[in-house]
């Protein structure tokens, strides 16, 4: 996508967002290419994002330990008849 510098002045946030997602954004001055907006880091592929998500899930499963049932976690607040202590 080519955009004049004058037009880019009012659309900079949108142009930066598009460049971050991988779109090629070229700013022109007097009809000639002057500047190309590129992200600092290359966008991750869908497969790479899925790999990272799965790694985080596995790490969470490895750290999880069984504990008391949440259904009975506040029983200490009530007596045998179910009244507050």
What pLDDT score was predicted for residue 72? 76
pLDDT in tens, 3-60: 999 999 899 999 999 988 888 899 999 999 999 998 887 667 888 889 999 999 999 9
Higher pLDDT, 64 or 54: 54
How is the chain classified by DSSP, letter by letter?
Answer: -EEEHHHHHHHHHHHHHHHHTT--EEEEETTEEEEEE--SSPPPPHHHHHHHHHHHHHHHHHH------GGGTTGGGB-TTS-B-
What is the CATH T-level fold of the domain 1-62, as seen in this structure?
YefM-like fold (3.40.1620)
Domain boundaries, the chain: 1-62
């Amino acid at each position: 996508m080519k955009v004049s510098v004058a037009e880019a002045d009012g659309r900079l946030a949108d142009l930066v967002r598009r460049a971050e997602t991988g779109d090629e954004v070229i700013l022109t001055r007097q009809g000639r290419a002057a500047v190309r907006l590129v992200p600092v880091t290359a966008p991750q592929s869908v497969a790479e994002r899925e790999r990272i998500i799965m790694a985080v899930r596995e790490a969470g499963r490895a750290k999880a330990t069984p504990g008391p049932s949440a259904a009975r976690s506040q029983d200490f607040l009530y007596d045998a008849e179910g009244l507050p202590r």
